[in-house]
């Protein structure tokens, strides 16, 4: 080795020792960890990794490198490294040595049971697999099944080597996966009042608290973990994100969950847990109304889903859609009843069927759950309704008489081929705007409230609503004039608005602002008028 190289090596080793001493001077480390850090720093291998560890609770509590990376020689990821047998991939089984409760809870959650989503037919058939690996799997690795029998990746939420609980609580961490057209939870949260408060105040909050040690929620508005995981009042913390979910509202149909009911209890128990979280900030009536509205949104979605299924089955029967057939290694074909969900992906109707569930239908339901009004409406039910009308139009264009009859009808009732749910008043109380909307609907939906009442009552009798929800609905129904504001007469703003509207919007008056805007009468022709004859 020449002198220059030898000098460089000495300097790098001296620098490594200097850095090493500063890196873990504040914490006590075992000799093996000290050896790992010294070597990694000397070679310049991921020095930020060491810094992250140094500032972690692991370092503070003496959890060193081999605590997580030690392996047996026959472990699937074991290799010999500088005299140690180490594992490249610490799995939940490794984490469970110290965090058994958290790993057990996660393993029983829907987060852990997504491994089947890696290569389902709507990805592995319809798009190149490399896209699925870089796309779907990047998020669904939270349910990665490991050769050692464990499942998940703890660092999907807790970043490697710092394992920060503060980062895990940050809404954007959940938003790493819960975003986009099919489950835009971070966008919904940002739109909600909860997200507004976080945006204004969140940088002042210390999210590293231990929720079990808190008598009350220590922040002004919830982050994702507050509702789904953290301790709140008498409610204990959990890593089973399914513990507080009374609806399966991401699925093609909304249904009441029985997930691990032998341990987690009924859907009513799960529903109550979530309401117990809400009770830390909201009044009982507010909570009842919010959950009632969310229940009815899920039930309404199901009726719309029923229509999509009806049309797709009809188009399959008429030969307009040919579902794909898939033969497995055992020589058996996948039953057509499973394929009809997606119906082949190659027609407009099958595309609408899929997006009506996977995109618009989810946004409609999840927006209602999380207080994101724009996702309930414009990104949700509005688009869902368009999907359905396009589905019917597609059938009419292909000569299906049942579809043509609806497509060519001239009544607004044509837009409601499904049965309806509703509740009197606004989501959180009186809505003086409602009479106008309902009066319009009742022109083509006779006995509107009687029909709606019959549907809601049937849902209650069939066990989809709690008695509390049904009683709250009846309370509103029996006091419609109060909740829709009709008993209080016309609002004082209505009269001056009508006067101003007549002045601004009167097309018969050539001097009204609207008339002037429409009839500006520019003198020069458009380029198309000049060049295209």
What tens digit of pLDDT does each residue of 181-201 get?
Answer: 999 999 999 999 999 999 999
- For residues 423 and 445, state if they share a domain: yes
Q: Is residue 214 left, alpha or beta, with left meaning phi > 0 and alpha meaning psi from -120 to 50?
A: beta
Give me the mean pLDDT over the 468-490 stretch.
92
* Burial tier of 413 (Cβ tally within 10 Å: 0-12, 13-18, 19+): middle
List of residues 6+ apart from 84 with CB closer than 8 A: 32, 66, 70
DSSP code of 380? I
Q: Which residues of 69-184 form beta strands (DSSP E)?
A: 78-81, 84-87
Give me the mean pLDDT over the 32-48 stretch.
92
Spatial separation of the C-alpha atoms in residues 323 and 333, rounded to whole Å: 12
Provide the pairing of β-strand 247-248 with 255-256.
Answer: antiparallel
Contact 312, 321 (CB under 8 A): yes
- For residues 457 and 507, state if they share a domain: no
- For residues 84 and 127, state if they share a domain: no
Structural domain for 364, as ranges: 284-488
Give me the mean pLDDT over the 247-252 stretch.
95
Looking at 60, 88, 116, the residue that finishes a domain is 88
- For residues 308 and 426, state if they share a domain: yes
Length of the chain: 533
Q: Is the pLDDT of residue 437 over 80?
A: no
**Which pLDDT score, from 0 to 100, does residue 182 have?**
94
Contact 196, 238 (CB under 8 A): no
For the record, the structure tokens of 379 come out as 């990104």
Q: Is the pLDDT of residue 289 over 90?
A: yes
As a whole number of Å, the end-to-end CA separation of the chain is: 84
- For residues 160 and 38, state if they share a domain: no
The model's pTM is 0.90
Residue carrying the six token digits 């954007």: 172
Q: Determine, yes or no, domain membership for 133.
A: yes
Hey, is 87 helix, strand or coil?
strand
Q: Is the pLDDT of residue 13 over 90?
A: no
Contact 27, 59 (CB under 8 A): yes
- For residues 264 and 351, state if they share a domain: no
**Which pLDDT score, from 0 to 100, does residue 268 have?**
98
Residue carrying the six token digits 């049971």: 113
Q: What is the number of domains present in the chain?
A: 4
Spatial separation of the C-alpha atoms in residues 341 and 122, rounded to whole Å: 10
Give me the mean pLDDT over the 365-374 stretch.
97
Q: Which has the closest alpha carbon to 419: 258, 513, 303, 518?
A: 303
Contact 293, 368 (CB under 8 A): yes
- For residues 219 and 251, state if they share a domain: yes
Hey, is 333 helix, strand or coil?
strand
- For residues 461 and 324, state if they share a domain: yes
* Burial tier of 462 (Cβ tally within 10 Å: 0-12, 13-18, 19+): exposed
**Which pLDDT score, from 0 to 100, does residue 497 have?**
79
Q: Which residues of 94-197 form beta strands (DSSP E)?
A: none
> CA neighbours within 13 Å on the CB side: how many for 461?
6
Higher per-residue confidence, 345 vs 318: 318
- For residues 19 and 61, state if they share a domain: yes
Give me the mean pLDDT over the 470-484 stretch.
95
* Burial tier of 171 (Cβ tally within 10 Å: 0-12, 13-18, 19+): buried
Tell me the percentage of the chain whose pLDDT exceeds 90: 72
Q: Determine, yes or no, domain membership for 93.
A: no
Q: Determine, yes or no, domain membership for 469.
A: yes
Hey, is 114 helix, strand or coil?
helix
List of residues 6+ apart from 509 with CB closer than 8 A: 503, 515
**Which pLDDT score, from 0 to 100, does residue 23 have?**
45
- For residues 332 and 240, state if they share a domain: no
Spatial separation of the C-alpha atoms in residues 87 and 462, rounded to whole Å: 53
Give me the mean pLDDT over the 166-177 stretch.
97
Spatial separation of the C-alpha atoms in residues 429 and 383, rounded to whole Å: 27
Q: Determine, yes or no, domain membership for 507.
A: yes
- For residues 444 and 419, state if they share a domain: yes
Q: Determine, yes or no, domain membership for 494.
A: no
Q: Determine, yes or no, domain membership for 493.
A: no
Q: Determine, yes or no, domain membership for 360.
A: yes
Q: 9: pLDDT confidence band, cut at 50, 70 and 90?
A: very low
Looking at 88, 114, 148, the residue that finishes a domain is 88
Higher per-residue confidence, 150 vs 486: 150
Q: Determine, yes or no, domain membership for 139.
A: yes
Looking at 242, 257, 276, the residue that finishes a domain is 276
Which helix H or strand E contains 51, and what residues bound it? helix 47-54
- For residues 44 and 150, state if they share a domain: no
**Which runs of consecutive H residues, i.e. helices, occur in 98-148?**
100-107, 121-124, 129-134, 136-140
Q: At what angle do helices 382-397 and 284-317 cross, to 10 degrees?
A: 10
């Amino acid at each position: 080795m020449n002198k220059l190289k030898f000098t460089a090596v000495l300097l790098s080793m001296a620098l490594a020792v200097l850095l090493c001493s500063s890196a873990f001077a504040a914490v006590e480390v075992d000799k093996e960890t000290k050896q790992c850090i010294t070597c990694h720093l000397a070679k310049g291998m991921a020095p930020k990794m060491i810094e992250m560890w140094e500032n972690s609770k692991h370092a503070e509590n003496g959890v060193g490198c081999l605590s997580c990376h030690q392996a047996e020689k026959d472990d699937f990821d074991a290799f010999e490294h500088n005299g140690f047998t180490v594992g490249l991939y610490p799995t939940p089984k490794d984490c469970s040595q110290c965090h058994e409760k958290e790993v057990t809870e996660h393993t029983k959650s829907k987060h852990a049971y997504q491994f089947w989503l890696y290569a389902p037919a709507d990805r592995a058939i319809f798009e190149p697999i490399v896209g699925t690996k870089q796309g779907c799997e990047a998020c669904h690795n939270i349910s990665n099944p490991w050769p050692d029998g464990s499942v998940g990746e703890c660092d999907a939420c807790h970043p490697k080597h710092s394992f920060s609980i503060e980062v895990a609580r940050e809404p954007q961490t959940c938003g790493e996966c819960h975003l986009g057209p099919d489950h835009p939870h971070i966008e919904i949260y940002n739109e909600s009042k909860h997200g507004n408060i976080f945006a204004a105040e969140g940088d002042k909050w210390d999210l590293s608290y231990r929720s079990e040690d808190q008598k009350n929620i220590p922040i002004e508005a919830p982050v994702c973990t507050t509702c789904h995981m953290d301790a709140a009042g008498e409610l204990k913390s959990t890593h089973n994100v399914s513990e507080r979910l009374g609806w399966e509202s991401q699925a093609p149909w909304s249904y009441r969950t029985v997930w691990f009911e032998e341990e987690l209890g009924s859907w009513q128990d799960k529903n109550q847990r979530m309401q117990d979280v809400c009770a830390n900030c909201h009044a009982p009536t507010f909570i009842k109304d919010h959950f009632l509205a969310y229940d009815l949104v899920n039930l309404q979605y199901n009726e719309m889903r029923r229509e999509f299924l009806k049309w797709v089955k009809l188009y399959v029967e008429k030969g307009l859609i040919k579902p794909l057939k898939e033969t497995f290694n055992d020589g058996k074909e996948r039953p057509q009843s499973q394929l009809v969900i997606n119906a082949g992906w190659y027609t407009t109707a099958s595309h609408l069927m899929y997006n009506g569930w996977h995109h618009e239908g989810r946004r409609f339901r999840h927006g209602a759950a999380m207080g994101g009004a724009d996702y309930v409406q414009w990104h949700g039910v509005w688009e869902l309704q368009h999907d359905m009308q396009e589905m019917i139009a597609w059938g009419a264009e292909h000569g299906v008489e049942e579809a043509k009859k609806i497509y060519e009808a001239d009544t607004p009732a044509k837009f409601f081929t499904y049965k309806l749910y509703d509740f009197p008043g606004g989501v959180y109380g009186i809505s003086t705007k409602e009479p106008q909307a309902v009066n319009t609907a009742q022109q083509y939906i006779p006995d509107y409230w009687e029909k709606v009442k019959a549907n809601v009552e049937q849902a209650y009798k069939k066990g989809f609503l709690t008695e509390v929800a049904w009683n709250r609905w009846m309370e509103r129904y029996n006091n419609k004039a109060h909740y829709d504001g009709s008993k209080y007469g016309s609002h004082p703003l209505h009269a001056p608005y009508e006067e101003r509207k007549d002045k601004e919007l009167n097309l018969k008056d050539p001097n009204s602002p609207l008339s002037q805007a429409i009839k500006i009468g520019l003198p020069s022709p458009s380029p198309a008028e000049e060049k295209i004859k």
